Chains A and B, each alone.
Chain A
């Protein structure tokens, strides 16, 4: 089998106050997969993804991206390969205009001139926001901000796109637009969410994390069809919905 894009072995992490955030986490994600990382609030989802691009370094165990271990020495290369879209787009869009913001990542990678412009235009087009290029981010709608945030990460041509709660605060129409866009992006994806229906729509595989441990890993439809498993980890489909009522797209 090919080298996994993400390979996490026996990862453990505790905060300075001693709170255990992750213990014995094992996770492999292969190229082309779309994986949902599900879990209740405080399960360790965000802590886990911050290990994937070296914001946190492993205290025990290892994290490797496309075979390269995440260490202090190769952070630039790791962060180019792993693109994280954070939950609040206002935290991510800090440059004066959309175009400059999308250019931020590739410019840090050393791109200039026509190469940079080309990269930025392609990223903007991939999330259908080319017309917003010269706007300041504070004048965009929430759904537009989220798409621009994705463009900023896609401009780095990552090997895996990690999205933290991509559907939070989106209205149904924006959510549907986002589905289409994520579907059209040709990149490995990890969706962090507790929106189970969205996981079912986008991801064939799901991983459930609770209290810092991976407790389930399998086809999304199978995991969502196990009400006891979901209830045990403070997850669940909306009231009255059963997995058999839902079509997998």
Chain B
């Protein structure tokens, strides 16, 4: 498959991680995120250990720093909100660079930064090395209800088409002199969104007719489950086991 014909979150490659079965990657990613989320924020050594693991995965996946950094844009809103926490937080204040900040708030901010950051990096590795159809197959293999994977599949399949519909209508508006600069004219955009909604609903009906015509009887065909080499599960258990051990230590349970 050529690199230009893939989804934007995926990076075409042949790294060892690209060849790991999707269900193994999904389980590992879920395990790592759980371990990170359950770790007390004061256990800084634990986060360093997680970061080493995730960093290793990024290297193993051969994802360029630039690719990871561009994806990080989605984190910005969360981080901006987190930046406010030390300012608005209550409790004891500490002086940092001449600002009086809440100690509690600083810890809250750190908590959001480190956990969102690590969770995000795990997600980037998963999405960057697994194509969307494979992710769906992985979820199928893990016995996610078919109805859920079907809905996700349809959403992925049609989101670009709906977006393109909206894009064409915007071009048509602009071609007839619409500028849409003042707030008062935004009603037009609302109507455009409304008509994209109606069109999409009608498309849904046509898709359903096409499905019926190919003998759809209410359940999507199940894709064949490909056997996963045992070594992949062993590697997943080692990784998640390490993260779980770190987490239990950090909580004083080991």
Name the residue of chain B whose CB is nearest to the CB of A117.
Answer: B224
Tell me which of A79, A93, A109, A135 contacts B212 (CB under 8 A). Answer: A79
Task: State how many angstroms separate the Cβ of A102 from the closest Cβ of chain B.
Answer: 10
User: Are A79 and B215 touching (Cβ within 8 A)?
Assistant: yes
User: Are A80 and B215 touching (Cβ within 8 A)?
Assistant: yes
Is A214 among interface residues, defined by CB-CB distance under 8 A? no
- Size range of the chain B interface in the assembly: 20 to 34
User: Are B221 and A135 touching (Cβ within 8 A)?
Assistant: no
Stretch among A29-37, A136-144, A217-225 lining the B interface? A136-144
Note all chain B residues with C-beta closer than 8 A to A138.
Answer: 157, 160-161
Binary flags per residue of A107-134, CB closer than 8 Å to B gives 1, else 0: 1110011000000000000000000001
Name the residue of chain A whose CB is nearest to the CB of B214.
Answer: A105
Q: Assuming A94-B207, A96-B156, A135-B5, is B213 touching A84 (CB within 8 A)?
A: yes
What number of residue pairs across chains A and B have CB atoms under 8 A from each other? 84
For the residues of A in contact with B, the DSSP-based class is helix
Is B168 among interface residues, defined by CB-CB distance under 8 A? no
User: Are B214 and A153 touching (Cβ within 8 A)?
Assistant: yes
User: Are B206 and A91 touching (Cβ within 8 A)?
Assistant: yes
Is B251 among interface residues, defined by CB-CB distance under 8 A? no
Binding site for A on B (CB under 8 A): 1, 5-7, 132-133, 136, 153-154, 156-158, 160-161, 203, 206-207, 209-217, 221, 223-224
Can you give 18 A-B contacts (C-beta < 8 A)? A50-B209, A75-B215, A86-B213, A91-B203, A92-B210, A93-B157, A94-B154, A96-B132, A96-B133, A96-B156, A104-B214, A107-B221, A108-B214, A108-B215, A108-B221, A138-B157, A139-B6, A152-B214
What 12 new A-B contacts, CB under 8 Å, besides A75-B215, A103-B221, A136-B7? A50-B209, A79-B213, A86-B209, A86-B210, A86-B213, A91-B207, A91-B210, A94-B158, A94-B211, A96-B153, A100-B223, A135-B1
